[in-house]
Amino acid sequence: MTFSLHGLAVSRGIAIGRAVLVASSRADVAHYFVDASKVEAEIQRVRVARNAVTEEITRLQRDLPADAPHELAALLDVHLMLLQDEQLISGVKGWISERHYNAEWALTTQYEQIARQFDEMQDEYLRERKADLEQVVERILRHMKGVGSPVQPKAHAGRKLQSQDLLLDDTMDVPLVLVAHDISPADMLQFKQSLFAGFATDVGGRTSHTAIVARSMDIPAVVGARSASQLIKQDDWVIIDGDAGVLIVDPSPIILAEYGFKQRQGELERERLNRLRHTPAVTLDGQKIELLANIEMPEDTVGAVHTGAVGVGLFRSEFLFMGRSGRLPDEEEQYLAYRQAIEGMQGLPVTIRTVDIGSDKPLDRHTKAQETHLNPALGLRAIRWSLADPPMFLTQLRAILRAAAHGQVNLLVPMLAHASEIRQTVSLIDHARAQLDNKGQAYGPVKLGAMIEIPAAALMLKMFLRHFDFLSIGTNDLIQYTLAIDRADESVAHLYDPCHPAVLRLVADTIAECDVQGKPVSVCGEMAGDVSMTRLLLGLGLRCFSMHPSQILAVKQQVLRADTGKLKAWAQQVIHSDEPALLL
Ligand code: PEP
Ligand code: MG
């Protein structure tokens, strides 16, 4: 039966496909696709782990003291029975051989399926066996951990999966959409190389990092759809309307036809925009506008160049640090990654932001900041995290400085608020240069920039401009911290308002002060890629926008139609209104 669910529209377009559910209760296992050639080996990993658990339980049973309660022996019997359960074994095999899920993903997916059946059982005793199944699955997962399960399999790095890698049966050409309670930014990176046509999650806000990565992949996505992962079942047909923020489950043929039509319209619009790729971004009154790309990985520069970005305005370096079980990239690995990005941009400037770990970007999916900190967004995040570990920060700074010998590099520092933080950062950069001098290693010049993303920074612009060559306004966090709205919390998403007068005035003041002092300023938060904001930002004097490459052409279209001279007075009126959104 058709039903619809509402969430937040975070990445435009329409996706129609069958649901792939990522087991929400075990979001901490790795999810990736294995090559066709590795399917047997993956099935073998589960088999080996299952045999090991069987042996373990048999041994436990054998060694039970004579006076052990009878229930304990019976329970171990149940566990042994579950380990031989045909539905579990064949289901897991099916997910691996037909869908090419990695072993852990296959196991947790099959667990979720069987667990649902347990939930529906009338018999209380049988219903309670779900907990036993869970324990058995946990044991197998624990055993598999030691059997070499790379978080990100090398085989897939840098290439897209082919459809034959994914599906071998008659569903071969059916697009797949991913449905999950939540997807960690690290998992999103893995999915970046897969064939998913769309994403839907129960939680998350418009500028949560999961939403940002979905947008950077230019794949339709809806987040904050509450109980989507419970109501949608594996293999259900789902329409993801990334423009309206709606999920339609099990659509009727008429609805399918309507959305098929919308999807084609969207594709036509994209083709039209594609013609602007080589058109310079100049307004009607001759103002040159820089449209730069936000990237997460060096490979993203390919898309950035392709879409006509004139540089990288924000390389979120933290994505090099995430999902590695705490093993941070060393200087050489970072240097090579930054150099790859610089070379990928073919002489265009690259702004590398120092690591912004913390809050909704934990180092690992296992270490959710929320579990250890009361207010992770206000905690040890970004530059605070870097300054708390000078050797780690110096490693990154040396890598960036060395990479700067290969092209134009700007070094951008996130989340600064205090003069003391600025002083410490600048002195660590000097120290990193001195270390390179001592080792006789070559490095290049960098322009130094600060993110303006905490209201305190936006209120201290003169002080910031004494230390920095340029500023970049991180509107995602500036909105979060100005309005006290957690950007990742869907329950307050309606209050996360980029057009709040307080936010707009901080943005306007930053642009104006940089203009007075003749220093470059950009916006690199999601506001820069939001076409409904382009005219206002141009009217406020912004000449440099950095956004996910998928938005560049749509923003360019707005730029080509704008006359900044005419927008200036209107923009002032907007920011001084109590309800600017009504004037936009
Ligand atoms: C921002 O806060 O606007 C920004 C660009 O940084 P991030 O989204 O990575 O926090
Ligand atoms: Mg930020």
pLDDT digits (tens, 9 = 90+) for 106-128: 999 899 889 888 888 877 777 77
- Bridge partners (DSSP) listed for residue 544: 290
Tell me if 545 sits within 8 A of 289, measured CB to CB: yes
State the pLDDT at residue 323. 78
- Residue 492 DSSP label: G
User: Quick check: 165 pLDDT over 60?
Assistant: no
**409-422 pLDDT, tens per residue?**
999 999 999 999 99
**CB-ligand 1 contact for 524 (6 Å cutoff):** yes
Q: Could you tell me the domains of the chain?
A: 25-145 (1.10.274.10), 277-583 (3.20.20.60)
Dihedral (CA of 384, 387, 392, 398) sign: positive
Which residues are the active-site residues?
209, 524
Lowest mean pLDDT among 19-33, 312-326, 559-573: 19-33
State which of 356, 476, 507, 537 you would mutate to test the pocket of ligand 1, scoring each by most atoms of that ligand within 8 A of its C-beta: 476
**pLDDT-based confidence at 149, cuts 50/70/90?**
very low
Crossing angle of helices 501-517 and 564-575, rounded to 10°:
130
Q: For residue 66, is pLDDT > 80?
A: no
Q: Hey, which of 92-101, 354-363, 539-548 has the most confident mean pLDDT?
A: 539-548
In this structure, the residue with its CA closest to atom 6 of ligand 1 is 474
Which residues are bridge partners to 449 per DSSP? 412, 470
What single DSSP character describes residue 346?
A: T
**Which is more confident, 25 or 193?**
193
The rounded Cα 443 to chain-centroid distance in angstroms is 31
**Most informative mutation of 206, 212, 524 for ligand 1 (most atoms within 8 A of CB):** 524
User: Is the CB–ligand 1 distance for residue 453 below 6 Å?
Assistant: yes
pLDDT at 201 over 60: yes
Which residue has its alpha carbon closest to ligand 1 atom 8?
476
Of the given ranges (18-27, 137-146, 310-319), which has the lowest mean pLDDT?
Answer: 18-27
Spatial separation of the C-alpha atoms in residues 469 and 447, rounded to whole Å: 6
| pLDDT tens for each residue of 526-559 | 999 999 999 999 999 999 999 999 999 999 999 9
Count of CB atoms situated within 10 Å of the CB of 388: 10
CA distance 147 to 378: 38
Neighbouring CB atoms inside 10 A of 7's CB total 26
Does ligand 1 have an atom closer than 6 angstroms to the CB of 185? no
Query: How many angstroms separate the alpha carbon of residue 477 from the centre of ligand 2?
Result: 5
Distance 501 CA to ligand 1 centre (A): 20
- The 8-class DSSP code of residue 358 comes to B
Per-residue pLDDT averaged across 142-169, rounded?
39
Mean pLDDT of the chain: 88
Q: Which numbered atom of ligand 1 lies nearest the CA of 382?
A: 10
3-state secondary structure of 448: strand
Please tell me the distance between residue 529's alpha carbon and the centre of ligand 1 in angstroms.
13
Confidence check: pLDDT of 499 > 80: yes
Q: How far is the CA of 223 from the centre of ligand 1 (A)?
A: 18
φ/ψ (deg, to 5) at 177: -120, 140
Predicted confidence (pLDDT) at residue 150 exceeds the cutoff of 60: no
Q: What string of DSSP letters covers 367-436?
A: S-HHHH-S-GGGSS-HHHHHHT-HHHHHHHHHHHHHHGGGS-EEEEE-S---HHHHHHHHHHHHHHHHHH
> What pLDDT is recorded for position 162?
33
Number of the ligand closest to the Cα of 316 = 1
Q: Could you tell me the distance, in angstroms and rounded to a whole number, from the CA of residue 525 to the centre of ligand 1?
A: 5
Q: Return d(Cα 212, Cα 490) in angstroms, integer.
A: 15
What is the reported pLDDT for 549?
A: 93
- Residue 379 corresponds to which tokens in the numbers above? 């905690």
